[in-house]
């Protein structure tokens, strides 16, 4: 499966005119991480707020489904973009939770994707001094951190 994903990724990047080194890692449970590294095209691959990296991830998933008939979870990463974003998100979550405790007021966090909201919910689930909930309707859905 790793070779098949690598070949599909090469095809997609070639169509986009991008040259990158590709590493595919089997994470188990039908999940694969596709690591892309390039010196000149990093910003292009990531895009504004990660839009391009998410689009690449979606298209690769659809291409793989078309070839295999099965859905696999693909996580596309450029450099250490995903790790940096996760750290920033955890930092934002902790700051907002601390502010909620300090002010005793709910703290909304806007402009998060569904995956980012889920990551904040999961990260703060271990804290016994705050609760989290999502409010509103897409595309204006947002997360609220409340003191207990």
Could you read off the pLDDT of 93-132 as tens digits, one per residue? 999 999 999 999 999 999 998 889 999 999 999 999 999 9
Per-residue pLDDT at 118:
95
**Average pLDDT for 44-57:** 93
Assign 94 to helix, strand or coil.
helix
Residue 84 has what pLDDT?
94
Q: What is the pLDDT of residues 19-33, one digit of tens each?
A: 999 999 999 999 999
Residue 32 phi, psi (nearest 5): -130, 140
- Mean pLDDT value across residues 27-47: 94
- Answer yes or no: pTM beyond 0.85: no
75's tokens: 């996580």
Q: Which residue has the tokens 């994903």?
A: 5
Average pLDDT over residues 42-69: 95
Answer whether residue 39 shows pLDDT above 90: no
Residue 124's Cα: distance from chain center in Å?
Answer: 17
Quote the tokens at residue 146. Answer: 């409340």
- The pLDDT assigned to 49 comes to 84
């Amino acid at each position: 499966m790793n070779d098949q994903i690598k070949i599909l990724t090469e095809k997609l990047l070639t169509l986009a005119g991008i040259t990158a080194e590709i590493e595919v890692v089997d994470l188990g449970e039908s999940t694969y991480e596709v690591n892309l590294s390039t010196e000149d095209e990093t910003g292009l691959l990531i895009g504004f707020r990660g839009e391009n990296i998410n689009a690449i991830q979606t298209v690769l998933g659809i291409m793989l489904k078309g070839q295999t008939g099965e859905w696999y979870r693909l996580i596309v990463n450029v450099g250490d973009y995903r790790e940096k974003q996760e750290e920033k998100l955890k930092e934002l979550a902790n700051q907002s939770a601390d502010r909620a405790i300090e002010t005793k007021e709910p703290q909304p966090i806007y402009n998060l994707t569904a995956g980012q909201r889920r990551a904040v919910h999961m990260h703060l689930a271990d804290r016994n001094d705050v609760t989290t909930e999502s409010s509103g309707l897409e595309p204006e859905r947002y997360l609220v951190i409340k003191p207990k």
